[in-house]
Amino acid sequence: MTVTARAMGEVIDRIDGPDKVRGVARYAFEQPLDHPAYLYPVQSTIARGRIIGIDCRSASSTPGVLMVLNQYNAPRTNIPAGQGELNILQSDRVAFRNQFVAGVIAETSEIARHAASLVRLEYQEEPHDVELHGDRDDFWVPSAASAQFPMELDKGDVDAVLTSAPVRLDRVYTTARQYHNPLEPHTTAALWSEDGLTLYVSTQGVSGIRDVVTALFGLDPGRVRVVSSNVGGAFGSKVHANPDVVLTLLAARMVPNRPVKFALTRQQMFSQAGYRPPTVQRLQIGAERDGRIMAFSHSSTSATSKLVEYAEHCTRPTATIYAAPNLRTRQLVTSLDVPTPCIMRAPGDCPGMFAIECAMDELAVECGIDPIELRIRNEPEIHPASGLPFSSRNLIGCLQEGAQRFDWEHRDPKPRARNELGWLVGTGVAASTYHALQQSGSMATIRADPDGRYTVLIAAADMGTGTWTALTQVAADALGVPVGSVDLRIGDTAYPNASSAGGSSGIASWGAVICEAAGQLRDRLGRGGSIPRQGLEVTARMPENRYASQYALHSFGAQFAEVRVNAETGEVRVPRLLGVFAAGRIVNPKTARSQLLGGMTMGLSMALHEEGVLDPRFGHVVNQDLATYHVSSNADVGDVEVHCLDEDDPYVNPMGTKGVGELGIVGTAAAIANAVYHATGVRIRDLPITLDKLV
Ligand code: MOS
């Protein structure tokens, strides 16, 4: 079934907007629960070793303290395979600095916090290893379990061509450790009673949290309810259950019938909520003098923890972006005594495209070709790795539209050509791509009432992105009714099971199952379409997309940046960013624009600011707050423009959408780095581009 757009394509203000503006939208921590207790963690002060003693006496005797949880008295849990970071208070091992090693439950969060500071731990410390260098020799190919796609590509004879090609490039690019930093921290409230477990949590997917929780505690899924009504940002950090959820559950287990609340502090977010690991990437390109790529080799190494093998799959876009008869990718990991990294906005593709698109700019310079023309010359006719046709691919359209809007034609390609009162001015371009993902397994229920109202139930999530609104538009079109007739309910395991809000797959996945349910409902209602007096309800399972094996499904974009670099101080400013995207049908131009703007702003932040600085002596990130870990804010952002091309793709899903949550961040950092080169003649291959690298 393909859905015709009526509501889709309309600008509709957020359904959840008024409540958020009025401050009455409830987040997990704000659930009005009766007489809650509060939790505060104790964190390890060593990066590796064993706990050999714990003294809880003064903490336990503090008035208002209900209990001090530790490895000796905590309930036992089953740790799901591959989720070692959830191994909380189950052993004496310390795997990274700031790991949870105890927790205090008290009448107020202030008492809990104070008492936590009184818990004394004795450790047997072991030497730790926390730094990622390009020259380490303990890298390995990640297991299939952590690889969500083939990490190794080998096409043709890359080495032979790399040694004989007329133009050769061999470069190393590095990206920094970056933190999601959603505005709302990770928060949980749990109530464990005879009726079962109720969990309020800030998450990208209630069904996934329920599955982990039932596995951890061996519970019947029917006795666990997970609710996540509003979420204040996530960026990937809330896609899985994190240690704070487990600690809250351990606590709630110990104080039955009493709700327990826990919110991470901003500092704790830097050790408990995942992060984008640092990467070291090597790009080797062999090309003809006219810029056509003959061989392309991309290897990437990222760091993970000793607990979980997480691979930052930087080489994924390499398989998609340019035609190369000889193509090779290598993806490696190494494990360190650090917290576990996780997916962060366009995981893999974002740092990967930073390296690829900087290398393309370097190749353009080597060949003396305009960087847009270079990309056009390397446009593949079919997907370079799979050989499948693209369901739609408008990278060239994005580049050309952007060139026109950005006045690329009048650009003098010579570096360091513009000096305006002591500011060196330059412009740069980079391509963007992300896969158009649809996750399987979601279900949805639609109920039609005789008054013409429709209730759509699905355990989907809105992380603050506008999904609630856009998905309502999808449902309205699928039902053929006005948006105002649809009441969409999400964020609760009381509704049918749904995939998580990850990989920009939300609208594609939940929308497809809603379309399926709507189609079945309309069939049942028949021609006349009148709803029976008792109403009518249909529950559908998401159909597989039969085109997914016949076409390569990807979105594309072109990023343009103008930078000004102070010739004396090296300070970089970005007065202008333009992103042109081809992401299928845009369901709601307002919320989609916000997503793409936000992605580009986060890309600017990655280019110029964000870097978790690790102290190798102690093994923790020292700039663990928003004062010292700077995230781009209003004063950093100049004029940011987003433009979406019309794209009609009948193969991706019934709505024709490709997802916009992650595409916007991909390529922005490269466009800025390329503009910095154009402005200054200095090529920075190491993010972030701080002024010390330019003077
Ligand atoms: Mo996104 S990093 O898949 O939440």
Residue 695: band (very low, low, confident or very high) from pLDDT cuts 50, 70, 90: confident
What is the rounded average pLDDT for all residues in the chain?
Answer: 96
Atom of ligand 1 nearest to the CA of 345: 2
Q: What is the DSSP letter of 654?
A: T
CA distances from 211 to 205, 217, 229, 558, 686 (A): 10, 10, 18, 39, 40
Atom of ligand 1 nearest to the CA of 505: 3
Atom 4 of ligand 1 has which residue's CA nearest to it? Answer: 236
- Kindly give the distance from the C-alpha atom of residue 279 to the centroid of ligand 1, in angstroms, as a whole number: 18
CA angle 583, 586, 588 (to 5 degrees): 145
Indicate if 340-436+551-693 has the same CATH topology as 17-25+440-544.
yes
Q: For 340-384, what is each residue's pLDDT tens digit?
A: 999 999 999 999 999 999 999 999 999 999 999 999 999 999 999
Q: How much is the pLDDT for 138?
A: 75
- Residue of 149, 237, 239 with the most ligand 1 atoms within 8 Å of its CB, for mutation: 239
340-436+551-693: which CATH number, 3.40.50.80, 3.40.50.150, 3.30.160.270, 3.30.365.10?
3.30.365.10
Residue 477: band (very low, low, confident or very high) from pLDDT cuts 50, 70, 90: very high
How far out from the chain centre does Cα 479 lie? Answer: 31
Q: How much is the pLDDT for 141?
A: 80
Atom of ligand 1 nearest to the CA of 661: 1
Please state the pTM of the whole predicted model: 0.97
Residue 53: band (very low, low, confident or very high) from pLDDT cuts 50, 70, 90: very high
Q: How much is the pLDDT for 295?
A: 98
The radius of gyration of the chain from alpha carbons, rounded to an integer in Å, stands at 26
- Kindly give the distance from the C-alpha atom of residue 503 to the centroid of ligand 1, in angstroms, as a whole number: 5
Residue 105 pLDDT > 90, yes or no? Answer: yes
Per-position DSSP letters for 606-637, written without gaps between them: HHHT--PPEETTTTEES--STTTS----GGG-
| Domains of the chain by residue range | 17-25+440-544, 31-127+182-234+238-272, 340-436+551-693
Tell how many helices (H) and how many strands (E) occur in the chain. 14, 26
Q: For 308-342, what is each residue's pLDDT tens digit?
A: 999 999 999 999 999 999 999 999 999 999 999 99
Q: How much is the pLDDT for 148?
A: 57
**Contacts within 8 Å (CB) and 24+ apart, 624-629:** 624/266, 624/267, 624/269, 624/270, 624/271, 625/266, 625/267, 625/270, 626/181, 626/266, 629/179, 629/181, 629/270
CB-side neighbour CA atoms (13 Å) of 51: 26
31-127+182-234+238-272: which CATH number, 1.20.1250.20, 3.50.50.100, 3.90.1170.50, 3.90.550.10?
3.90.1170.50
Q: How much is the pLDDT for 144?
A: 66
Q: Which of 596, 576, 573, 593 is nearest to 664 (CA)?
A: 596
- Kindly give the distance from the C-alpha atom of residue 427 to the centroid of ligand 1, in angstroms, as a whole number: 29
Q: For 480-536, what is each residue's pLDDT tens digit?
A: 999 999 999 999 999 999 999 999 999 999 999 999 999 999 999 987 778 999 999
- Percent of the chain having pLDDT more than 90? 94
Q: How much is the pLDDT for 150?
A: 62
- Kindly give the distance from the C-alpha atom of residue 314 to the centroid of ligand 1, in angstroms, as a whole number: 14
Beta-strand pair 293-305/326-336:
parallel
Residue 132: band (very low, low, confident or very high) from pLDDT cuts 50, 70, 90: confident
Q: For 437-448, what is each residue's pLDDT tens digit?
A: 999 999 999 999
Q: For 527-542, what is each residue's pLDDT tens digit?
A: 777 899 999 999 999 9
Strand order in the sheet with 187-193: 65-69, 100-106, 37-43, 260-263, 187-193, 196-201, 224-227
CA distances from 218 to 226, 464, 648 (A): 16, 32, 47
Atom of ligand 1 nearest to the CA of 347: 2
Average of pLDDT values for 663-672?
98
- Residues with Cβ within 6 A of ligand 1? 204, 236, 239, 343-345, 347, 502-503
140 strand-pairing partners: 333
- Considering 85, 312, 610, 662, which one is annotated as catalytic? 662
Atom of ligand 1 nearest to the CA of 204: 4
Residue 688 pLDDT > 60, yes or no? Answer: yes
Q: Which of 558, 522, 335 is nearest to 431 (CA)?
A: 558
Residue of higher predicted confidence among 137 and 84: 84
CA angle 94, 100, 101 (to 5 degrees): 65
Q: How much is the pLDDT for 1?
A: 64
Fold exhibited by the domain 17-25+440-544 = Aldehyde Oxidoreductase; domain 4 (3.30.365)
- Kindly give the distance from the C-alpha atom of residue 302 to the centroid of ligand 1, in angstroms, as a whole number: 17
- Kindly give the distance from the C-alpha atom of residue 323 to the centroid of ligand 1, in angstroms, as a whole number: 27
Atom of ligand 1 nearest to the CA of 463: 4
Residue 578 pLDDT > 90, yes or no? Answer: yes
Q: For 212-270, what is each residue's pLDDT tens digit?
A: 999 999 999 999 999 998 999 999 999 999 999 999 999 999 999 999 999 999 999 99
Average of pLDDT values for 119-148?
82
Cβ–Cβ < 8 Å for 452, 482? no
- Start-to-end CA span in the chain (Å): 58
Average of pLDDT values for 125-140?
84
188 strand-pairing partners: 201, 262
- Kindly give the distance from the C-alpha atom of residue 180 to the centroid of ligand 1, in angstroms, as a whole number: 10
> Is 662 annotated in the active site?
yes
Q: How much is the pLDDT for 204?
A: 98
- Residue of 240, 662, 665 with the most ligand 1 atoms within 8 Å of its CB, for mutation: 662
**274 Rama sector, left if φ>0, alpha if ψ -120 to 50, beta otherwise:** left
Q: How much is the pLDDT for 393?
A: 98
- Residue of 203, 237, 345 with the most ligand 1 atoms within 8 Å of its CB, for mutation: 345
Q: For 150-187, what is each residue's pLDDT tens digit?
A: 668 899 999 999 999 999 999 999 999 999 999 999 99
